[in-house]
Amino acid sequence: MASIKEKFNQISPSEFFYRNRDLAGFSNPSRSLYTAVREFVENGLDACDQKGIFPDIHLSIKAVDPEKPDPKPYILTVKDNGPGIESKHVPLAFGTVLYGSKFGLKQARGMFGLGATMAILYGQITTNKPVVVKSSTDGQIMEIFELLLDIQKNKPVILKHKNKEVSKKGLTVSICLEGDYSKAGSKIRDYVYQTSLITPYASITFDDPKGEKFHYSRMIKTMPKPPTIIRPHPYGTDVETIRRMIVDSQFEIPTIDDAMIEKVRKDLGLSKKNFSFTAIMDKAKKRWKTLSRQVRVVISLMSFLKMDFEKLNKIRIEDLDVPNNTLSYWDFGDSTSKTVELDPESPYYRQLTNTVQGETLTAFLTKKFQRVGPTTAVKFAKFAGFKPERRLGTMTNQELAHLSNSLQKFDEFMGPDSSCLAPLGAEPLEKGMRKFFDPDFLTVIQRAPSAYSGFPFIVEMGIAYGGEISTRGIKVYRFANRIPLLYDEGSDVVLKVINDIDWSRYKAKGDPPLVIVSHICSTRIPYKTAGKENVADRQEIERELKLAIQFMARKLSVFMNKRGQAEAAKKRANLYAKYIPLISQFCTELAGKKKEPNFQKILQEEKPIENE
C-alpha cells in the first residue's frame, strides 16, 4: 500500500499537467493563446465578483518581435482591480499547480489556480521566461514577483521580489508565451465581446497586437450577489464522493506521542507528580464533560490498556478490532505485539468503537448534506433499509453502494439550494442586451432555480429583434457560468432547443434579425466534451431552456403581430392610394362624367394608425 502511494508521488502535479497540457487547452500556439487569455480574464472577473468590486479588466497582447511571422512569442498581460493576493501566497498561487481556494461547491467561472498556472507553465516551457505578478492588497504597496515553476518539484522559484508604492488595489499577471494571434485573433475578440455582454457591470479593455483597442464600458451599476459555498445535495453524489465524505467524518485514533501525552496531561490538570493509572482515571471521570474527543479517546485506550503515561509512551496502537473486541499494540520495550480484550460493558467501550466506526447515518446525512433535516434523515434510513443509528464505518462496500443508490432514488429530499448560484439577473441582462444590440424588441427571462442530478441550475435568456441587429437569421450567444461558449455550437443543447422551435409559428419567418442570449448557471455545467464548449442535453436543462424560449417567443409573436398589422395597414393604404385614383379616372370617362368622384373620403378612412 505505502509503496504504491510513493510511486504516485514521483510525478508531481506540475509534471502531470505538463505531460497532459492538451487536455487543459494548450495543444497549439493558437489555442494556447486563447486559453491563456480566458484563464486570466476569468480569474480577474472572479476575484472582483467575490469581493463585490465592479471589475475593470485590462487585457493586452503584444508581440515580442512584431516582424516575426506567427507563431511567435507574445506578452500577455491581464490587469484587474480586484482584492489582489497576499504577498505570502503569491509564490505558491502562481508557482505551483493545484493551489487555490475554489474547491467548495459554488458557481465560479473555473477553478482558480489550475488554468492560470497551466498558462504560466505553458509560457515557461515555450519561451523560458518567468511570470511577472504584481499584487496590491491594500492599495498602497505593490509586491512584484518574477517566478519560475520547478516542474519536477512543483515548487516556485522566486527570481526577483520587490515593492513599489501604488494608489490602487489589484492584480496584474504577465506572461510570455508562444502564440498565434493571426489565427486566434478573431476568437479572442469574440471572447472579449461576448464576455462584456454577459458581464455588463464590468469594464473591459483589450489592446491587441496590431495596435487596435477594443473598449467595452460598464453598462450597469449593479452587481449580482456573490454566490455562497454550500454542502452537496444527496442527488449530486456517487459512491466515491460518499466514501471520501465518510473518511472526513471518521475520527482516527490519535497518534500517541509526547505532544499528545502532554496535551492529555494538561487537559486533565495533572501535575507531574500524580500520574498513577487510577489517579488519571479518576481525574478523567471528573473532567469528562470538558474533554475534547481526542483526549477522551486516549483516556479510553488507557482504561483498557491499564497503563499510565509512562507505559503509554512505550507502545504503538496497532489495531482496534471491533467485531472481536480486541485491541492490539506493539510494545517497544520487549518488541512484541500484544493484545488485550475489550469489555463491551466498560463505559469507555462506546467511546472507542464509535470513534472508529464514525458517525451515525442520520448525523452523517444532516451534517454533510444540504437540505437534509433529522426527520428526513430518519425517513431516508427507513427507505434505504438501514438503522438510523447505523455507523458509517461499519458499512461494507456493498452497503455503501446501496446507500449511494438509495440517495438517488429517495424522492423526498428538497430541491437543491440555489444560493450557491450567481445568475446575472433579468434586469442586468436586459440592460446589457439593450445597449449591445439596440433592438426594436427585447425580452428576457430568468427561470426559477431547478436541478439535474442534485446540481442546482438557473437558466437566463434574452431575445432581441430588429433595430441595429444587422445579422440575418438567428444568432445565438451561449454562456455557461458567465463564460462565453464560442465553439462546437452544433452539438449544444441550447442550439438543439432553438432549432426544434418552429419560429414561423412565432411570426419570425425567413432569416429574421434575431439574437438569442442564453446563460446557464450551475455548480456543475454538464459539458459534453473536455473542451467545455458545448452543454450536454440533460432533460431537466432542456426543459427549462424550452420553457424560457417559448415564453419569450410568445412575446415576440405578439410584437410581430402588432408590427405585421401596422405594416399590412400601411401596405394596404399604399395600394389604395395607387389604384383608387386610377379607378376613379377610368369610371369617370366610362360614365361620361366631367368631374371625378370624391374618392378622398375612402382614402382618409383607410389611413393606417401610426404605431407608437
Partner 1 sequence: MSKKSDKKAKALSKKAQEKQKTILEMLKNHGAKIYDDLNSGQFPKFSIPSRSVSNIVYDKKLRQYILGNSTALRSSKNTSQLRSFTQLMWLAFFANRLTNEKKSSTLRDIYYSSQAFAIDFEDQAESDNIIVDLEAVTSRPREDFHIFPEERSSIFGDLNIEYTIPGYEGKKMNLSNHPDGYSIGPSLTTAELVDTSAEIVIAIEKGGLFTRFVEEQIDKKFKSIIINTGGQAPRSTRTLLKRLHDEMKLPVIILTDGDVYGEHIAMVIKSGSANAAHLRELTVPDAKWVGVWATDIEKYKLPTIPMTESDIKRCYDLQKDPRYLDGIWKKELEVFLRLKRKAELEAFSKYGLTNITDKYLPQKLELAKSL
- Grid coordinates given for 571: 401596405
The residue with cell 498556472 is 117
The yes or no reply on residue 157 touching partner 1 (CB under 8 A) is no
The residue with cell 499584487 is 135
Q: How far apart are CA 270 and CA 264, in angstroms?
A: 9
Residue among 486, 400, 534, 446 nearest 188 (CA): 486
- DSSP 8-state code for residue 343: -
Q: Which residues from 549-608 bind partner 1, rule CB under 8 A?
A: 571-572, 575-576, 579-580, 582-584, 586-593, 597-599, 601-602, 605
Q: How far apart are CA 494 and CA 516, in angstroms?
A: 10
Least distance (Å) from partner 1 to the CB of residue 566? 15
Least distance (Å) from partner 1 to the CB of residue 610? 20
Least distance (Å) from partner 1 to the CB of residue 417? 59
Closer to partner 1 by Cβ: residue 332 or 579: 579
The residue with cell 464560442 is 486
Least distance (Å) from partner 1 to the CB of residue 574? 10
Closer to partner 1 by Cβ: residue 159 or 587: 587
Q: Which residues from 347-386 bind partner 1, rule CB under 8 A?
A: none
Q: Give the end-to-end CA distance of the chain in Å, rounded to a whole number.
A: 78
Closer to partner 1 by Cβ: residue 448 or 602: 602
Q: Which residues from 415-474 bind partner 1, rule CB under 8 A?
A: none
Q: State the binding string over 306-345 for partner 1 (x if CB under 8 A, else -).
A: ----------------------------------------
231: Cβ–Cβ under 8 A, 6 or more apart, which residues?
105, 368, 369, 370
Handedness of CA 376, 379, 385, 390 (dihedral sign): positive
Closer to partner 1 by Cβ: residue 490 or 592: 592
Contacts 24+ apart (CB under 8 A), 403-408: 403/242, 403/361, 404/237, 404/238, 404/239, 404/242, 406/380, 407/234, 407/235, 407/237, 407/242, 407/380, 408/234, 408/235
Least distance (Å) from partner 1 to the CB of residue 187? 50
Least distance (Å) from partner 1 to the CB of residue 218? 50
Closer to partner 1 by Cβ: residue 273 or 601: 601
- Grid coordinates given for 557: 409573436
The residue with cell 511571422 is 69
Least distance (Å) from partner 1 to the CB of residue 553? 29
Closer to partner 1 by Cβ: residue 160 or 572: 572
Closer to partner 1 by Cβ: residue 415 or 581: 581
Least distance (Å) from partner 1 to the CB of residue 584? 6
Closer to partner 1 by Cβ: residue 411 or 605: 605
Number of residues that bind partner 1 (CB under 8 A): 23
Least distance (Å) from partner 1 to the CB of residue 518? 40
Closer to partner 1 by Cβ: residue 259 or 590: 590
Judged by DSSP in three states, 301 sits in helix
Q: How far apart are CA 459 and CA 547, in angstroms?
A: 10
Q: Which residues bind partner 1 (CB under 8 A)?
A: 571-572, 575-576, 579-580, 582-584, 586-593, 597-599, 601-602, 605
